[in-house]
Amino acid sequence: MTSRRDFIKSGSLYVAATGAGTLFPIDLLASMRRPVSPNDRIQVGLIGCKGMGFSNLSSLLKLNEIEVVALCDVDKNVLSKRTADLEKANIKKPKWYADYRKLLEDKDIDVVIIGTPDHWHCLQLMDAVDAGKDAYCEKPIANSIHECEAMLQKVSSNDRMVQIGQWQRSQPHFVDAIDFVHSGKLGEIRLVKVWAYQGWMQPVPVVPDTGVPEGVDYDMWLGPAMKRPFNPNRFHFNFRWFWDYAGGLMTDWGVHLMDYALYGMKAGTPKSVMAIGGKFAYPNDASETPDTLQTVYEYDGYSILWEHATGIDGGNYGRDHGIAFIGNNGTLVLNRGGWEVIPENDRPNWNQDLGPKIPAIPLQQNEGNGLDLHTTNFIEAVKSRDSKILNAPIEVGYNTALVCHMGNVAYKTGNRIYWNRDKKMFSDANSNALIRPSYHNGWELPKI
Peptide bond just before 117 cis, omega within 30 deg: no
Percent pLDDT > 90 in the chain is 87
Q: Is the pLDDT of residue 8 over 90?
A: no
Residues 338 and 417 in one domain: yes
> How many angstroms separate the Cα of 307 from the Cα of each of 194, 197, 198?
6, 8, 11
| Range(s) of the domain holding residue 286 | 170-367+399-432
Residues 352 and 273 in one domain: yes
Q: Is the pLDDT of residue 9 over 60?
A: no
The band of 301, judged by pLDDT with boundaries at 50, 70 and 90, is very high
The sheet carrying 162-164 orders its strands as: 95-97, 66-72, 42-47, 111-114, 134-137, 162-164
Q: Is the pLDDT of residue 426 over 60?
A: yes
> How many angstroms separate the Cα of 434 from the Cα of each of 58, 119, 145, 251?
36, 14, 8, 15
Closest alpha carbon to 405 in 146, 155, 152, 166:
146
Name the pTM for this structure. Answer: 0.93
Q: Is the pLDDT of residue 250 over 90?
A: yes
Pairing of strands 66-72, 95-97: parallel
347-404 pLDDT per residue, tens: 766 666 666 679 999 999 998 899 999 999 999 999 999 999 999 999 999 999 999 9
> How many angstroms separate the Cα of 431 from the Cα of each of 268, 412, 418?
19, 9, 9
Closest alpha carbon to 402 in 432, 435, 448:
435
The band of 32, judged by pLDDT with boundaries at 50, 70 and 90, is confident
Residues 288 and 423 in one domain: yes
Query: Across all residues in the chain, what is the average pLDDT?
Result: 93
Q: Is the residue at 227 inside a domain?
A: yes
Closest alpha carbon to 66 in 95, 46, 88:
46
DSSP 440: -
Q: Is the residue at 7 inside a domain?
A: yes
pLDDT confidence of residue 393:
98
pLDDT confidence of residue 57:
97
- CATH classification at residue 25: 3.40.50.720
Q: Is the residue at 438 inside a domain?
A: no
138-185 pLDDT per residue, tens: 999 999 999 999 999 999 999 999 999 999 999 999 999 999 999 999
Residues 23 and 133 in one domain: yes
Q: Is the pLDDT of residue 16 over 80?
A: no
CA atoms within 13 A on the CB side of 229: 6
> How many angstroms separate the Cα of 15 from the Cα of each of 64, 168, 305, 398?
14, 17, 36, 31
> How many angstroms separate the Cα of 360 from the Cα of each of 179, 181, 328, 357?
16, 14, 14, 10
> In angstroms, rounded to a whole number, what is the distance separating the alpha carbons of residues 220 and 73?
9
